[in-house]
Amino acid sequence: MRFLSRLILLLTILFHAGFAQSQIIQDPTTWTYELKKTGDNHYRLFFHLKLKEGWHIYSFNPGGDGTLIAPSFRFDPASFFKKNGKTQEHGKLETKVRDGVDGAVHEFHNKVDYTQDITVTGNGKITGTLEYQVCDESMCLPPKHKAFSFEIKDASPTGTEAALSPSGDTSTKDSNARAAAPNTTVKSHPDSSQMALSAEPVTPAKPEAPTTNLWLLFALCLGGGLLAITTPCVYSMVPITVSFFTKRSKTRAEAIRNAIYYSLSIIIIFTVLGVIISAAFGPQALYKLSSNWIANLFFFAVFVVFGISFLGAFEITLPSSWTSKTDSRAGTGSFKGIFFMALTLVIVSFSCTSGIIGPLLVAASRGGLVGPALGMFGFSLGLALPFTFFAFSPGLINKMANAGGWLNQVKVTLGFVEIALALKFFSNADLVKGWRILDREIFIALWIVIAILLGLYLLGKLKLSHDDANPKNIYGQEYVSLFKLFLAFSSFAFAVYLMPGMWGAPLKGLGQFLPPMGTQDYVVSSGGSLASANSESHTATPGNGPVKYVDAMRVYEPNVVKNNGLVTYFDYDEALAASRREHKPVMLDFTGITCVNCRLMETNVWSAPEVMKRMKEDFIVASLYCDASQVPLPKDEQYYSKVLGTQVTTLGDRSLDLQISKFNSNSQPFYFFVDADGKLLADKGYGTNTDVARFVAHLDAVKARYKELHP
């Protein structure tokens, strides 16, 4: 299926590419210019833009994943005028979510006006260039440049240099104007042949909390809530609860109302739980927890306990006194009574839902401050929907499958999944501390065993003490339902897919979850012989390649680096020295040993031939691991970090301090591009975005900018 979907996508792209060659799309923009005098020697320049129907232009603050091209205005230097503030934008700003772009984007449709206030000392001509890109629902046109010109003819003859004082600022305080234009913005083009640079210096952004795709997170948690319905604790409560409302209510309308109150109560309880988690820990604390080795060991232990519980070893329950107190206040007489009925459900169902909520909260921790709240809202919505649905159609309750052995099989299946997920957390801690307990082949072997055992269980070949007998056919023989047969088929297929990984196959589809290839004790070479996966991939000769921390960090290099012979540095200063020596720009890869999105980018973007070719030939690549806490710094290189508020004693601390203090970012992966002096070659970093063409365009733009500055 994965191959088929990619083939269809490729054919679609080729079709549209061929179609695009057969037609010339005219520029859908119309620009007009206007000059207004606002006071003695004070003027306002107007850039009026009209867009054809269906086209849009991004805001100065475009949002998205940091690669969207916002309009920019470059003014040619002249001594007779001074800009007052930044160029402002005015129009109906719209926020949308677009396919292929992480995060919401900010854009204008139909028309937008740009203004720039200036102060002059005399008459003259103001010239410059504006750059912009416009897009419709299916594509973006290549960025365009337009020259502009304004002539000042009626300036006051008394104008002096004093007129250029900032006090003459008459910038419009429009609400949209508060979105500041990007500064020193390097704009990339598909053909990488042109770049425009705005006239303002870089203004560092505030450090951002790591984020995840919130829509994906919501969908994941919604699915978790729906899955929780199939657990014994919750499933058996649906007909009982709905019947209770139906029988105790005087009318059907009252029964529906009470069921809606009940569902809303469930949503409120879980959402408030998410808000409390966000408020108590905050986005930075949640992120640090997700990458801390102690926290990962804790998650591992929790998941194992949940998994063993789901397999039937014991039941996890909250104190019975909690249930008694909430149950005593429950009833249908008021919203308060119904709320306590919902709270009773939450407490009673804890033994089943906790094993699902736990993994979802871990995923939500990477969603910043809103992640846990949004995640719990999605989970509770999925959990509450069946109660409302059956309240509207109570007759369908009689058609629900009878609670029985199949509910226990759901729990056992979830138990196998929980234990498989637990291994990922132990692997994170193992990698951070360098214990080498759960190397790549051991991790894969354990997943293979779990997948095979799950398949055998689904086929009824593996029995647990509390399992019911399989149903029997008309001949008195036990049989397996088609649904379970296909689940077993998928589980066995997954095990077969994993097996080549035991001998070093990259397993690209799981690259972000598996330990790095450097922890593999052996691989099968192209000639069929066994070879160590830790063979030298660097030429550790001073002045001819990376030396510092190579021995300690080589084991964490991603598969794509080893498989393609990409040379990476692990020390910032050593990478800058290599840049001076080889006259290449530096790609700073702020990454992490336990970073799932880092592996996602490496597996899906770095591995693309057009990307790897550029990285190997045109860049010095420095992989700076921000969680490499097991690699100590020499005593003479240790120092106190103000941004971290602690002594920097490890390679991971120094990398994170560098990312925050110099680049105002603290999430991984994030790529910044600098020259040998550490000067930024692009105003923004590049985060998680698996669009290969977009990343290639970014690399080409950086390379062009480097050549412009260092001919």
Q: How many helices (H) and strands (E) does the chain have?
A: 20, 19
- The pair of structure tokens assigned to 195 is 């770049």
Q: What's the rounded mean pLDDT across residues 482-501?
A: 92
- The pair of structure tokens assigned to 335 is 């919203």
- The number of angstroms, rounded, from the C-alpha of 246 to the middle of its chain's C-alpha atoms is 44
Parts of the chain belonging to CATH 2.60.40.1250? 24-178
Is 502 a residue whose pLDDT tops 50? yes
DSSP state of 443: H
Return d(Cα 703, Cα 711) in angstroms, integer.
Answer: 11
Q: What is the pLDDT of residues 296-311, one digit of tens each?
A: 788 788 778 877 877 8
DSSP state of 696: H
AA identity, residue 185: T
Range in 97-101, 651-655, 680-684, 689-693 with the lowest mean pLDDT: 97-101
687 three-state secondary structure: coil
AA identity, residue 593: I
Q: What is the pLDDT of residues 24-39, one digit of tens each?
A: 467 799 999 999 998 8
DSSP state of 400: S
Of 698, 624, 684, 670, which Cα lies nearest the Cα of 210? 670
Q: Residue 1 has what pLDDT?
A: 45
Asked whether the bond before 359 is cis by omega within 30 degrees of 0, the reply is: no
What is the architecture of the domain spanning 24-178? Sandwich (2.60)
User: Sorting pLDDT into bands at 50, 70 and 90, what band is 466?
Assistant: confident
Residues 313 and 302: beta-carbon distance below 8 Å: no
Q: What is the pLDDT of residues 570-581, one digit of tens each?
A: 999 999 999 999
Show the beta-strand stretches assigned E in 552-706. 568-569, 586-591, 620-625, 639-641, 646-648, 670-674
pTM of the model: 0.48
Return d(Cα 319, Cα 614) in angstroms, integer.
Answer: 60
Task: Kindly write down the DSSP assignment for every residue of 62-87, as one continuous string.
Answer: EETTS-----EEEEPP-TTEEEEEEE
Range in 39-48, 151-160, 560-569 with the lowest mean pLDDT: 151-160
In this structure, what are the phi and psi dihedrals at residue 570, rounded to the nearest 5 degrees?
-120, 0
Residues 66 and 113: beta-carbon distance below 8 Å: no
- The pair of structure tokens assigned to 666 is 């603290």
Token look-up 């419009």 returns 172
- The pair of structure tokens assigned to 182 is 């990007």
Return d(Cα 297, Cα 301) in angstroms, integer.
Answer: 6
| CATH T-level topology, domain 536-709 | Glutaredoxin (3.40.30)
Q: How many residues does the chain have?
A: 711
Range among 9-13, 192-196, 653-657 rated most confident: 653-657
- The pair of structure tokens assigned to 625 is 């691991």
Please return the burial class of 398, using the count of CB atoms within 10 Å of its CB with bins 0-12, 13-18 and 19+.
Answer: exposed
Parts of the chain belonging to CATH 3.40.30.10? 536-709
DSSP state of 121: S
Q: What is the pLDDT of residues 331-363, one digit of tens each?
A: 545 667 777 777 766 665 655 565 566 656 655
Q: What's the rounded mean pLDDT across residues 57-64?
A: 84
Task: Kindly write down the DSSP assignment for every residue of 327-392, as one continuous string.
Answer: HHT--SSSHHHHHHHHHHHHHHTHHHHHHHHHHHHHHHGGGTTTHHHHHHHHHHHHHHHHHHHHHH
Is 662 a residue whose pLDDT tops 80? yes
- Count the neighbouring beta carbons within 10 Å of the beta carbon of residue 53: 8
Q: Please name the residues in contact with 188: beta carbons below 8 A apart, sequence gap of 6 or more.
A: 69, 195, 682, 697, 698, 700, 701, 702
Return d(Cα 671, Cα 695) in angstroms, integer.
Answer: 11
Of 559, 461, 449, which Cα lies nearest the Cα of 494? 449
Q: What is the pLDDT of residues 529-550, one digit of tens each?
A: 455 555 444 444 445 678 899 8
Return d(Cα 267, Cα 380) in angstroms, integer.
Answer: 5
Q: What is the pLDDT of residues 386-408, one digit of tens each?
A: 777 777 776 665 555 555 556 67
| C-alpha angle 577-581-582 in degrees, rounded to nearest 5 | 115
Q: Considering Cα of 396, then 399, then 403, then 409, what sign does the dihedral take?
A: negative
CA dihedral (58, 62, 66, 71) in degrees, to 10, reads: 50
The pLDDT > 70 percentage for the chain reads: 68
- Count the neighbouring beta carbons within 10 Å of the beta carbon of residue 215: 13
Cα 72 to Cα 120, 141, 145, 197, 199: the distances in Å are 22, 16, 10, 8, 9
Task: Kindly write down the DSSP assignment for every residue of 310-325, as one continuous string.
Answer: HTTS------HHHHHH
Return d(Cα 519, Cα 206) in angstroms, integer.
Answer: 36
